[in-house]
Amino acid sequence: MEFEEVKKGLAGVIVDDTAIASTDSSGTLIYRGYVAEELAERSTFEEVAHLVVYGHLPNKKERLKFSNLLSRNSRVAPNIDKIMGLLPRNAPAIDVLRSIVSMMPLNENEDDGKLLEIAAKMPRIMSDWHRLSKGSLPLRSTDGTYAERFYYLLTGSKNKSDARLLEELLILYMEHEFNASTFTLRVAASTLTDPQAAMTAALAAIKGPLHGGANAEILDYLLQMKSTSEARRYVDAKLRKKEKIMGFGHRIYKNKDPRAQYLKERLRVFAAAKGAEKLYDIATAIEDEMWKMKNIPANMDFYAAICLYLMGIDSSFNTPIFAASRSFGWTAHYLEQVSNNKLIRPSSRYIGPVGMHL
């Protein structure tokens, strides 16, 4: 049997076809042919999620049906809160989300329904866990759009302008071709495991600091900065030590992450409305210095973390928010994988000892 060697980490290797999302030759992210930033600016979360999962923007009837499915599945069974009560109070929210998703009962019958039911429940799981770990009672309202409901469950506020920015952010996080968590889900799906198990696998992969876990660490250094000059000195010092600065660099985007630039402009206006112009200036100073010194662009996580902070969303939610949004992309990839399936089983080159005997 002949083997073909590929780059470590599968960098630049095409492993399959997909009709869901891609980046074009200019680095523009597209969902089913539509530019992601245009969708974020002009569409609702439900419309884009329907597009990603089913391949087309919904008409009025389809939009209502899809929204109703998410709404009716936005609650969790009472015994889930009881299970949460048995978990360590200091457990990371992403760990709790993964554990609950792996075991919770589902009501939908078809694969797409099961996947969307899991995705619909994620905001409630996150909210209930956060409040339970703080000794507060769960929030029970499920009114409004998906984004409005999500924002309320995260903050207890019904501020529609903040919820709209969260909606845009969620749309931009929804899908990004064969990223680590999506590929993990597709490997699991290729074994023909059930949707719940595949989602659990994806949630395990998204936690890592080289993937979804990066956005939770950005505020750790950003909020310590007192001025733009201090921010530039921080970058210079980190680079001299050859240390990584979270929120910068991307396997795909070498010149700019279009999602980051979209959020940067939204943040400029949002920060001014919140009286946080200084934080915006510090962030852009860090971005400018990184580009000047290393030609490394800010990625979406960098500006997303600041947006979420100014929305009043606890930073422990950052990775779970990413996961909740990406779960709709995972849904599309699970369905695409099983519709034309072949077990994903690469080979390896053995470099260990041989000829060993007892």
**Comparing C-alpha atoms, which of 341, 281, 279 is closest to residue 308?**
279
Distance CA 256, CA 265 (A): 14
- The DSSP code for 85 is T
- In whole angstroms, give the CA distance from residue 357 to residue 45: 61
- Cβ neighbors of 348 (< 8 A, separation 6 or more) are none
Task: Give the H or E element holding residue 238.
Answer: helix 228-240
Q: Are 69 and 106 in contact (CB under 8 A)?
A: no
Radius of gyration in angstroms for the set of CA atoms belonging to the chain, rounded to a whole number: 21
Which tokens is 246 given?
């979270």
Of 250, 257, 281, 288, which residue is the catalytic one?
250
202 closest CA partner among 218, 191, 192, 189? 189
250 is catalytic: yes
Q: How far apart are CA 307 and CA 47, in angstroms?
A: 22
Mark whether 333 is an active-site residue.
no
For residue 313, give Cα distances in angstroms to 250, 273, 304, 317: 25, 17, 11, 7
Q: Which of 188, 179, 291 has the alpha carbon at shortest distance from 232?
A: 291
Single out the catalytic residue among 211, 220, 236, 288.
211
Cα gap 188→341, rounded to integer Å: 11
DSSP 248: B
Instruction: Report the catalytic residues.
Output: 211, 250, 301
